[in-house]
Amino acid sequence: MLFMKGSPKEPRCGFSKQMVEILSRHGVAFSTFDIFSDEEVRQGLKTFSNWPTYPQLYVAGELIGGLDIVKELEASGELDTVCPKAQKLEDRLKSLINKAPVMLFMKGNKQMAKCGFSKQILEIMNSTGVDYETFDILEDEEVRQGLKSFSNWPTYPQLYVKGELVGGLDIVKELKESGELLPALKGEN
């Protein structure tokens, strides 16, 4: 957590701007709090942390320090080990694909499809009795666009079994008609 003057898009002092630039350059995952938005927090944090200036960087609830400390950590190469990295999109996609043995990326979720293709694939999946998880691509544009490239499959829904792309609605329909869907969902082929 970075307590700063302003926001990352509109820092209201040079020190806060430099801090945001350093953290961003290193791919650090961080959230911010604008100390100008709450005078009580602004004054209280100085006492609480025994650190008289801003910005102040905290990792896992512990004060790391201000800009000078962060610059020293950057120079020594320690910043990357002290601060948590933002998860790379590819790692995030792999994690989502493997969240469950059978994973369906669709518009909507198990309870409510938000397009006709997603509705059809839900009906097919529910008829198999196989347990599966869903991910609503309408809720996350980064995943929606990234998964198209990652899987080299341009449309949704997309069905994955044990981390491997099975395909979209047409493939699932073909597998159902040929009697291969259940074995495919169980990872037997």
At 165, give phi and psi (nearest 5°): -70, 125
Same domain, 72 and 93: no
Total residue count of the chain as it appears in this document: 189
Return mean pLDDT, the chain: 93
- Same domain, yes or no, for 93 and 180? yes
**pLDDT of res. 130:** 95
Which structural domain, as residue segments, surrounds residue 126?
Answer: 89-186
Q: Are 169 and 97 within one domain?
A: yes
Last residue of a domain, one of 63, 82, 101: 82
74 & 102 share domain:
no
From 82, 103, 122, give the residue that closes a domain: 82
Supply the CATH number for residue 22's domain.
Answer: 3.40.30.10
What confidence tens digit (pLDDT) does each residue in 129-148 have?
999 999 999 998 889 999 99
pLDDT at residue 189 in the model: 65
Give 104-115 pLDDT, tens digit per residue. 999 999 999 999
Q: Does residue 64 have a pLDDT over 90?
A: yes
Structurally, the chain folds into a number of domains equal to: 2
pLDDT, mean of residues 84-89: 72
The reported pLDDT for the residue numbered 87 is 66
159/173 Cα distance (integer angstroms)? 12
Give the residue with greater pLDDT, 84 vs 68: 68
β partners of residue 65? 57
For the cut 90, the answer to whether the pLDDT of residue 178 exceeds it is: yes
Q: Are 15 and 65 in contact (CB under 8 A)?
A: no
The answer to whether residues 76 and 94 belong to one domain is: no
Q: Is the predicted pLDDT of residue 86 greater than 70, yes or no?
A: no
- Cα–Cα distance between 72 and 109 in angstroms, integer? 47
Tell me what pLDDT residue 13 has: 94
One domain, residues 78 and 7: yes
**Domain finish residue from 82, 107, 140:** 82
Q: Looking at the structure, tell me whether residues 49 and 128 fall in a common domain.
A: no
Do 141 and 182 fall within a single domain?
A: yes
Residues 61 and 105 in one domain: no
Per-residue model confidence as pLDDT tens digits over 18-33: 999 999 888 887 889 9
Q: Output the CA angle 140-142-147, nearest 5 degrees.
A: 100
H/E element holding 120? helix 116-128
Round to whole Å and give the CA distance between 100 and 93.
Answer: 13
Return d(Cα 128, Cα 74) in angstroms, integer.
54
Average the pLDDT over 160-175 and give the result: 96
Same domain, yes or no, for 78 and 94? no
Mean per-residue pLDDT for 7-22? 94
d(CA 26, CA 9): 17
The structure tokens listed for 133 are 């998880």
Q: Does the pLDDT value for residue 89 go beyond 70?
A: yes
Predicted confidence band at 88 (pLDDT cuts at 50, 70, 90)? confident
Amino acid, res. 68? D
Please state whether the predicted TM-score (pTM) of the whole model is above 0.85: no
Query: 164 and 101 in one domain?
Result: yes
Max distance between CA atoms of the chain, in angstroms, equals 71
